[in-house]
Amino acid sequence: MNLDFLVVEGNIGAGKTTFAKMLGEEFDARLILERFAENPFLPKFYADPEKYSFPLELSFLAERYGQLTRELANRELFQQHTIADYYFMKSLIFAQNTLATDEYNLYRNFFDIIYERLPKPDLFVYLHLPEERLLENIRHRGRDYESTIDAVYLKKIREGYFTFFAQQNDFPVLIVDTSALDFVAHPQHYTMLRDLVSQPVDWKGIRREILPAEP
């Protein structure tokens, strides 16, 4: 893999953290993993979104910026690759689905100022799964605060990502449909996905791939 900074993203339940960890172990990469479970506003938000959406999104904005700047500024000398399971623009995707218009406009002002200061990834990989598969994965991991997530919310998140991809030209985006894969249970599926994201990036804009399961 010839990427210095790789981002693996996806909707809730897409397997982004699992895949990032698998890549990190194989390539001895520095891992940047989102510490979402430590956010004290997250359970409150799922219980009462209207009341806690703004403090939740502001806290995520501050935490993500702080973590990314610290980790990317202090990369280890002997670790060639850095792999993250989120990027800063994730803040904007979720905020536009949770905040009221006036709150979002204020939030966007903060986001735009901060976003320009961050290093951009060499490749942004988005793992795509249909909403029904995402819901299965969410139910399987059994986090209480995720129990109210439904397909409508997941669809809005997906549409937010795709809209952002279409409007930005800061980094190449690889959208991979992994509907036919289970890269945890089947090593050959992981190998297919790993080989795809490890290829030299000699293109710009958005590239889409569908990986079929091997016979």
CATH architecture of 5-210: 3-Layer(aba) Sandwich (3.40)
Structure-block tokens of residue 193: 């996905």
What's the one-letter identity of residue 130? P
* pLDDT value, residue 78: 54
CA angle 31, 76, 62 (to 5 degrees): 55
pTM of the model: 0.90
CA distance 82 to 31: 6
The whole-angstrom separation of Cα 19 and Cα 25 is 10
pLDDT score of 178: 94
What confidence score (pLDDT) does residue 79 get? 65
Which pLDDT score is estimated for 138?
93
Identify the sign of the CA torsion 119, 154, 206, 85.
positive
- Nearest CA-CA partner of 149 in 37, 40, 12: 12
85 is catalytic: yes
User: What pLDDT is attached to residue 29?
Assistant: 92
E strands, 25-183, are 30-32, 82-84, 123-128, 173-177
In this predicted structure, what is the pLDDT of residue 77?
Answer: 53
What are the beta bridge partners of residue 174? Answer: 125, 207
pLDDT in tens, the chain (215 residues): 788 999 999 999 999 999 999 999 999 999 999 887 678 888 888 788 889 999 999 999 999 999 998 888 876 655 689 999 999 999 999 899 889 999 999 999 999 999 888 889 999 999 999 999 999 999 998 888 788 889 999 999 999 999 999 988 889 999 999 999 999 889 999 999 999 999 989 888 999 999 886 64
Instruction: Give the integer Cα–Cα distance in Å for 116 and 148.
Output: 34
Q: What is the pLDDT of residue 47?
A: 84
Q: How far apart are CA 100 and CA 51, in angstroms?
A: 11
Distance, in Å, from the CA atom of 60 to the CA atom of 180, rounded to the nearest integer, reads 32
Backbone dihedral region for residue 206 (phi beyond 0: left; psi -120 to 50: alpha; all else: beta) = beta
Out of 4, 85, 102, 144, which one is annotated catalytic?
Answer: 85
